[in-house]
Structure 1
Amino acid sequence: MKNIAALVATVALAAQSASAHYIFQALSKGSGKGVVYEYVRRNSNYNSPVTDLSSPDLRCNVGGATGGNTSTLDLAAGDAFTFTLDTAVYHQGPISLYMSKAPGSAGEYDGSGDWFKINDWAPIFNGGQASWTMKDTYTFNIPSCIPSGEYLLRIQSLALHNPGGVPQFYIGCGQINLTGGGSASPSPTAKIPGAFKATDPGYTANIYNNFNSYIVPGPSVFKC
């Protein structure tokens, strides 16, 4: 009986852990929820995270190195866009948005070029408590000053729920064709992998103990 009870507990724990994961699976113009995998590259690791800081999978998730059958969304500079998940973000940690200009078509681009960050949803500290933006949709605007062209638009959830363990990256890459852009050169830029270090305080943070400030890993946010 003890063995059966242990097995049931293990299965229940595994199911709970799996259900706690999530996938960025749709991208749309404006605030709509979009069509699953129409403009977002389909990953092949279901809802498992990426944890290897040296892996190219940090760019667009496992299986997302190229666009495959993914379409490219037309957006104008300054337009709002929305990423939608299969379920709301469950793990505490920052949400970040990155962009990388493709040398040609977004569908053929592997993300090995320069990336710049356009937004962080960092924790908000109030009364000794931290609150995170944990939703099933994330809406922001394309910078109005960046050049026209095709881009990878990347969203990242860095899960910090396992102090002393390895933080987890949940990633999705959309493909966009930007029109009406400007002439700014976004900076700072970073390579992925390479943007995140195991020594970054925002990567090693213990969110359960003496947690009263936080620096999101990666480059600072570019603003027009």
Structure 2
Amino acid sequence: MKNVVALVATAVLAAQSASAHYIFQSLSKGTAKGTAYEYVRRNTNYNSPVTDLSSNDLRCNVGGATGGNTSTLDINAGDPFTFTLDTAVYHQGPISLYMSKAPGAAVDYDGSGDWFKINDWAPNFSGGQASWTMKDTYSYTIPKCVPSGEYLLRIQSLAIHNPGGVPQFYVGCGQIKVSGGDSASPKPTAKIPGAFKATDPGYTANIYNNFHSYIVPGPDVFAC
């Protein structure tokens, strides 16, 4: 009987653990919730995180090295877009947006080129303690000054909810074709993997002990 109880408890914990994870499934223009995996590359690890800082899976998740049957979203520079998850972000940590220009078609691009960051949702400390932006949709705009062309648009949730454990990356890549852009050369840029290090203060932060400031890992945010 004890064995049965233990097995049931293990199953419940496993289910709770799985339900605590999430995946960025859709990308759309404006603030609408899009169709799952229409413009976002389909991952093959369900909603599990990536934890290896040296893995190419940090770019677009497991199974996301190429576009497969993923369509490419036409969008103008300066236009808003929205990423939607299967369930709201559950773990504390920053949310970041990156772009990388494809040398040709976004569907064929593996993300091995340069990435630049266009936004961070960092913690807000104005209430005396950290407040994180934990939602099921994240909206922002394509920078007006980026060159026209096809890009990978990457969203990342870095979960740092388990001090002493390994931080978790939940990532998804949308494919976009930007029109009406300008001639900026976005900087700073970084390679992924390589943009995040185990020694980064934002990677090793303990959010439960004397937590009054935070630096989001990765390059600084590019702005026109």
Q: Given the two structures, how large is their TM-score scaled by the length of structure 1?
A: 0.99
| Residue 84 of structure 1: how far off its partner (Å) | 0.3
% identity of equivalent residues: 85
Deviations 1:185-204 (A, max 9, x none): 00000000000000000000
Deviating 4+ runs (over 3 angstroms) = none
| Residue 130 of structure 1: how far off its partner (Å) | 0.5
Counterpart CA distance in 1 for 2:88 and 2:19 is 11
SS of 2:130's equivalent?
A: strand
SS of 2:221's equivalent?
A: coil
1:18-97 alignment to 2 at 5 Å? 18-97=18-97
Question: Is it true that 1:7 corresponds to 2:7 in the alignment?
Answer: yes
SS of 1:174's equivalent?
A: strand
Counterpart CA distance in 2 for 1:221 and 1:106 is 22
Equivalent position of 2:183 in the other structure: 183
Deviations 1:94-137 (A, max 9, x none): 00000000000000000000000000000000343101000000
Letter aligned with residue 18 of structure 1: A
SS of 1:138's equivalent?
A: strand
Deviations 1:32-62 (A, max 9, x none): 0011100000000000000000000000000
Letter aligned with residue 179 of structure 1: S
SS of 1:125's equivalent?
A: coil
Equivalent position of 1:148 in the other structure: 148
Counterpart CA distance in 2 for 1:172 and 1:123 is 21
Letter aligned with residue 200 of structure 1: D
Equivalent position of 1:111 in the other structure: 111
Counterpart CA distance in 1 for 2:80 and 2:14 is 37
Q: Given the two structures, how large is their TM-score scaled by the length of structure 2?
A: 0.99
Counterpart CA distance in 1 for 2:195 and 2:83 is 22
How many residues get paired?
Answer: 224
| Residue 161 of structure 1: how far off its partner (Å) | 1.1
Counterpart CA distance in 1 for 2:222 and 2:215 is 15
Letter aligned with residue 81 of structure 1: F
- Over aligned residue pairs, what C-alpha RMSD do you find? 0.6
| Residue 4 of structure 1: how far off its partner (Å) | 2.1
Counterpart CA distance in 2 for 1:160 and 1:71 is 32
Counterpart CA distance in 2 for 1:156 and 1:127 is 25
Equivalent position of 2:138 in the other structure: 138
Deviations 1:131-190 (A, max 9, x none): 100000000000000100000000000001111010000000000000000011000000
| Residue 9 of structure 1: how far off its partner (Å) | 1.4
Question: Is it true that 1:221 corresponds to 2:221 in the alignment?
Answer: yes
Counterpart CA distance in 2 for 1:35 and 1:216 is 30
| Residue 2 of structure 1: how far off its partner (Å) | 2.4
SS of 1:15's equivalent?
A: helix
Counterpart CA distance in 2 for 1:162 and 1:62 is 22
